[in-house]
A = this chain, B = another copy of it.
Amino acid sequence: MASHGARGRGGGRPTLEEVAARAGVGRGTVSRVINGSPRVSDVTRAAVEAAVAELGYVPNTAARALAANRTDAIALVVPESETRFFAEPYFSDMLRGVGAAISDTEMQLLLIFAGSDRERQRLADYLAAHRVDGVLLVSVHADDPLPDMLARLEIPAVISGPRSAEETLTSVDSDNYGGARQAVEHLVGRGRRRIAHITGRLDVYGAQRRVDGYRDALRDAGHPEDDLMIEAGDFSEEGGRRAMAALLERHPDLDAVFAASDVTAAGARHALREAGRRIPEDVALVGYDDSAIARHMDPPLTSVRQPIEEMGRRMIDLLLAEVADRRPAASRELDRRQVVLATELVERTSS
């Protein structure tokens, strides 16, 4: 006991063994109580719980992790720089949703940025050390090597926003295609005839799906193919501004714009203002995400709402299921699940 010298200073925290002694039971029994096993009699459980309370016992996470080979932590990995993370409400909304969901569990959530090469190297080391039981991946680009790395390390992962229609990871997404259709159908319903679209980054699958939705909605409304007015953006405000300017140049007669994100719409709004167009009188504007920006814009922005909170919850549920499922490594491939949640159009005065 004295051999480790100055360690465990100040009397230290009580251990399982001490709780067991105090409660007059064995180590195993205390462990069972702590972990909520049903195979403990009520009397014993009460005695142990009393001892735990008296001693102020808190399990040692490191010991537990070592013995049980799990960490009780999952990581939310954002393959972007901090700067972009903070600039885009999508990420913070997602973080909020995931945070809410995780707080119902015993799990801990880690936020990891992997924007720069350096950060990616750190992340790789981190994952190699198996410091988390599972990973949540947000908005990964088509050619990102991260998913493969996770597969190689056999770390369970759930992705928000599949990389393609054949996503191999379990994924959760909102109905980008349907959401885009809602937006365009809404504009058509309001009598708009010349509807443009500013896309997101097209290496993001969801952005492509929004283009598909836009295209199909217009076609179904009887618009000829060459009515399409598409300009590439990148989800940023500046990108929205530039795309809008280009669209106005090419199609001065447009009377509506569907932007692939609220931030993009904010950029478009600037360009429209500069060009002297009134919103919504001259040009109707619809965004995507229904973030705080949409509510505070002038005029308030009609936007497609994704159920971010729900998405976060589903991601956590699926990931925890995969983590728990790590026993016989049986037919797990079979039910690769792709959850798609419905969107909702929130109408405001911009359209």
Contact yes or no, B99 A129, CB < 8 A: no
A13: interface (CB < 8 Å): yes
A10 contacts across to B, CB distance below 8 A: 154
Contact yes or no, B122 A103, CB < 8 A: yes
A residues 131-189 near B (Cβ < 8 Å) are 131, 154
A96: interface (CB < 8 Å): yes
> For the complex, what is the distance from the CA of A181 to the CA of B299, rounded to whole Å?
39
Contact yes or no, A82 B69, CB < 8 A: no
A8: interface (CB < 8 Å): yes
A62 interface neighbour in B71, B95, B154, Cβ under 8 Å: B71
> For the complex, what is the distance from the CA of A56 to the CA of B128, rounded to whole Å?
9
Interface residues on A, range: 35 or more
> For the complex, what is the distance from the CA of A127 to the CA of B119, rounded to whole Å?
27
Minimum CB distance partner of A128 in chain B: B58
A residues 69-120 near B (Cβ < 8 Å) are 69, 71, 82-83, 86, 89, 92, 95-96, 99, 103, 108, 110-111, 113, 118-119
A22: interface (CB < 8 Å): no
Contact yes or no, A61 B131, CB < 8 A: yes
Contact yes or no, B96 A129, CB < 8 A: no
Contact yes or no, B58 A66, CB < 8 A: no
A36: interface (CB < 8 Å): no
A60: interface (CB < 8 Å): yes
Contact yes or no, A111 B113, CB < 8 A: no
> For the complex, what is the distance from the CA of A205 to the CA of B95, rounded to whole Å?
30
Contact yes or no, A59 B129, CB < 8 A: yes
A273: interface (CB < 8 Å): no
A-to-B contact residues, CB < 8 Å: 6-10, 13, 56, 58-63, 65-66, 69, 71, 82-83, 86, 89, 92, 95-96, 99, 103, 108, 110-111, 113, 118-119, 122, 125-126, 128-131, 154, 326-329
